[in-house]
A and B are shown apart, each in its own frame.
Chain A
Amino acid sequence: MELRYDLAVIGGGPAGMAAALRARERGVERIIILERAEKLGGILEQCIHTGFGLHYFGEELSGPEYAGRFIKEVEKTDIDVRTDTMVLSIGEDNTVTAVNKKDGVLKIHATAVILAMGCRERPRGALQMAGTRPSGVMTAGTAQKYVNIDGYMPGHKVVILGSGDIGLIMARRMTLEGAEVKMVCEIMPYSGGLTRNIVQCLNDFGIPLHLSTTVVSTHGRDRLEGVTIAKVDERMQPIPGTEEYVECDTLMLSVGLIPENELSVAAGVELDRVTRGAVVTEMRETTKSGVFACGNVLQVHDLVDFVTMEAQTAGEGAAAYIRDRSAFDGAEYIFTKTGPGVRYIVPQKVNIHAPEDVKLFFRVGAIYKNARIVVKADGERISDKKHVRLTPGEMENVTIKRDTLKHLSPDSILSVEVEE
């Protein structure tokens, strides 16, 4: 089946829905959302804890509630939604090929495409862990689906490796459901999760957090029987003699998220080496004309509220592109550059004639106390702000004034750095 749309949005999670809605508000008429699952909402469906929406709605919602608000908004519009639909490729001319049981193969000719596929968890295979391969080893998100969607407990005695937010949330969830969560081990000397989650998910239940500690081996033939943990040195190598056996039937991994960019790469979109998401402009246009990216497929966010806001930017970008693509194709860009202490910056490119102030989002590489975030344009300081605390687990941002951009030339460099 061949279809013609102004905008095709790939992924119907919080990013895809917010991007489609904003594009619709900005006058884009024919929009389609393509979603792999049976319903809109993405991963929020299984995130039944609260804490979503404090920034965007000013109230504390659960994941399903947050998603529900956007699903309702989408339903009120004439945006077409195809669920149970898998996108196979994005062609040269932004033709999206997708497949589902009802329509068979769909060829969607779109002027613009928004990538909103989200991310997935780093699996066990990505870790160097010795030992047997019994059942009972799973990612925290898989465990979350078992408990919150399928309604069954994946185990009784749990060790969690990695202190990312999903791992912390699952430590609490499993404890409340009667499991014994023995510990959370984190290979880094600091936690990758939000401080509030350490407090309300671990401290509240007396679950110990072991920093600079990892799981070196699993034991058990059919079912996991235990793990060996060990302290690690500064180079993150296990320290001989610090091994300790911990009995458990479940090992949950919360060791990072990876943007799901197979489609983007196949379509010729350039990725950032650090974020593993697309290289984008301030409107979230990728290196492929008319293809935009937002949400966790672009950079892994801490809060869905920021996913929504980023998706709205991409929706505005796509709407502007559909209206007049010449403004995009002929734009003059400068590159952002990470200075000392900063791991990455999104966007990587900024239009020097941007009509509005531009926010740069970034993460620092270590924990800093009373440090300054300094922005420089061609080596000259343009802003400087003191932060009581900076941590890699929390995304930061700085605003670049439109007036500042105006004075830059296409070969200027805008850098962000940490000054101690």
Chain B
Amino acid sequence: MAENKVTVMTCVTCPIGCTITAEQDAEGNVISVKGNTCKRGEAYAKTELTAPMRSLTSTVKVRGGRHPVVPVKSRTPVPKARMFDIMAEIAKVTVDAPVAAGQTVIADVLGTGVDIITEDSM
């Protein structure tokens, strides 16, 4: 029978960066999380070992704005494995000024359920 797997990781939820030790059983289920100083750390460790997620930020081209690009972000974290695919989608977009902060530029990007929204007005 396979042994339990222990992973040591740094939580990236906030700048404190707790060192977390998580234990998984042979099936990959997370059975214990230690070292976190808040609940978000536990949630982070669990998703990190099963389906890691990351916030994604970039820029999209804007016509007639103060600058040639406007910054955008994923409204919530996206699957880490899909970051480059989403970047390719973001690169295809051009918006027209004026742009408001918080405006959706891509709804439900690549079926992830996450919108790409502007961070600033332009």
Contacts and interface: CB of A to CB of B under 8 A. Distances in A.
A152 B103 CA distance: 23
Interface residues of A, number: 30
A389 B17 CA distance: 11
Nearest to A64: B120
B69 A149 contact: yes
Interface stretch (B24-32, B50-58, B108-116): B50-58
B15 A51 contact: yes
A54 interface: yes
B100 to A, nearest CB: 11
A243 B73 CA distance: 40
B80 A48 contact: no
B114 to A, nearest CB: 13
Given A49-B57, A62-B71, A149-B69, A200 B84 contact: no
Interface of B: 9-12, 14-15, 17, 19, 54-59, 61, 66-69, 71, 73, 80, 83-84, 87, 101, 119-121
A151 B14 contact: no
Given A62-B71, A176-B87, A196 B10 contact: yes
Contacts of A198: 10
Interface of A: 38, 45, 48-51, 54, 60, 62-65, 68, 147-151, 176-177, 194-196, 198-200, 204, 302-303, 389
Contact of B59 (A50, A151, A196): A151
A54 B10 CA distance: 17
A65 B119 contact: yes
B57 A196 contact: no
A273 B9 CA distance: 37
Contacts of B59: 48, 147-148, 151
Contacts of A195: 10, 17
